[in-house]
Amino acid sequence: MLNLRDKRIAVFAEGCFGPVTSKVATSYLRYRHSDCIAVIDSRLVGQDVGDILGYGRGIPVLDSLESALSLKPEMLLIGVGLFSNELPDSWRVQIALALRQGLDVVSGLHFRIATDPEFRALAAASGARIWDTKEPPEALATSRATIGNLGNFIVHTIGSDCRVGKKTTAIEITEAAKRRGFNAGFIATGQSGIYISGAGVAIDAVPADFVAGVTESLVFDAAKSHDWIVVEGQGSITHPAYSGVTLGLLHGAMPQALVLCHEAHHKHHKGWPNAPLRPLNELVALYEQLGSFLRPAKVVGVSVHCGALGRDQAARVIEQVEQETGLPATDVIQFGADKLVDALSTHSRHLQKLAA
């Protein structure tokens, strides 16, 4: 694992950079834009990241790594994903240049940079380091379902779909809880969360039998130093492709509290127009039922990703969600996560009274 803090980082997002199309890059830049010296996407040359995302102002978008070398980057971070383990030839050229120049390369692709003979030889010659964040931990074991023995309060963000704000919600809840005096810690389960926090496991790269066990191990590690443990969610329990990861996380984390994440006006799973989203109340009931096989899990609030909606429009959407579900809701970026922390704190106190 490489330290990304205080490094001069060029973010590679060729052909994909944008608020929706490059989740890894945009998530990383929201929280770590001060370390980024350039974003690479030849479609958007000359634009400013701040104009595209609304944050990260002053970071230029360049056409290639060659153009970024004058800014003296120390690391190339692959800020986009692929739907297979094939590496495009044009990406190979840019990664090879980075390694030849001695830049460390950080990748969350399913293609393993470090095991490629050409890349391995280039890194050895220049002293560059490669971190494939999709590489699972060396120690793998199935879950023992023993988290219930801990006295910690475990929160887990769950979703109606992919890319609806589960990671952002988990981070914002953690930071808001800290400001309120709670000893809270964030567990990253995806590569952008790892880049932001500096620790975690890309859980979608773990063999299926061990997803719950690795999650359990992450919770036990976090329990050594945090009272509240906020576990980042992945996918959705109803997603046609990624539901297995979602369920493994849910059972491995054994959370007492769930926060449902949803995107405003979203009707179908992204990329699956034949797979409509289920009503929010149905999702609440489904997650609570599946989560409670090991110990009771309750959805205590809804995080609504309102995207480009203005504050007034977002407020109306949030009010509709609250009326529909009977749960407190917010957009954690536009309005903060305090409403969710209030609901979590109330539920935590309720659990403490039951245990007394």
Region for 326 from its dihedrals, namely left if φ exceeds 0, alpha if ψ lies in -120 to 50, beta otherwise:
left
User: Would you give the distance in Å from CA 349 to the centre of its chain?
Assistant: 28
How many whole angstroms separate alpha carbon 217 and alpha carbon 246? 16
The model's pTM is 0.92
Under 8 Å between Cβ of 9 and 297? no
Q: CA Rg, the chain, in Å?
A: 20
CA 32 to chain centroid = 14
Locus of tokens 């769950």: 158
Q: What is the pLDDT of residue 265?
A: 93
Q: CB atoms < 10 A from the CB of 254, how many?
A: 25
Specify the length of the chain in residues. Answer: 356
Buried b (16+ CB within 10 A) or exposed e, 190-199: bbbbbbbbee
Q: Report angle CA 314, 297, 141 to the nearest 5 degrees.
A: 115
pLDDT of residue 83: 67
Give pLDDT, residue 84. Answer: 67
DSSP H/E element including 28: helix 23-32
In the chain, what are the domains?
9-132 (3.40.50.720), 147-355 (3.40.50.300)
Residue 335's nearest CA partner among 308, 356, 304 is 304
∠ Cα 179 198 306 (to 5°): 60
Residue with tokens 């997603």: 239
Of 165, 223, 155, 222, the closest CA to residue 190 belongs to 165
What CA–CA distance (Å, rounded) separates 36 from 10?
A: 6
CB 252 within 8 A of CB 189: no
CA distances to 153, 182, 229, 352 from 356, in Å: 15, 20, 21, 6
Neighbouring C-alpha atoms within 13 Å toward the C-beta of 95? 29
pLDDT tens by residue, the chain, 356 residues: 777 788 899 999 998 898 878 888 999 999 999 999 999 999 999 999 999 999 999 999 999 999 999 999 999 999 987 766 788 888 899 999 999 999 999 998 888 999 999 999 999 999 999 999 988 888 899 999 999 999 999 999 999 999 999 999 999 999 999 999 999 999 999 988 999 998 999 998 899 999 999 999 999 999 999 999 999 999 999 999 999 999 999 999 999 999 999 999 989 998 899 999 999 999 999 999 999 998 999 999 999 999 889 999 999 999 999 999 999 999 999 999 999 999 999 999 999 999 87
Q: State in Å, rounded, how far the first CA of the chain is from the last one.
A: 42
Q: What is the C-alpha to C-alpha distance for residues 159 and 305, in angstroms, rounded to an integer?
A: 11
Query: H-type helices in 131-205, by residue range?
Result: 166-179, 191-197
- Bridge partners, residue 132, by sequence: 107
pLDDT of residue 161: 96
Contact 302, 321 (CB under 8 A): yes
Sheet strands side by side (includes 228-231): 184-187, 228-231, 153-159, 257-263, 298-305, 329-330
- CA 163 to the chain's CA centroid: 9
- The residue type at 100: R
Which helix (H) or strand (E) covers residue 237, if one does?
none
pLDDT score, position 6:
81
Do 167 and 242 contact (CB within 8 A), yes or no? no
CA–CA dist 172, 178 (Å, integer)? 10
Hunting for tokens 């809804």 — which residue is that?
A: 302
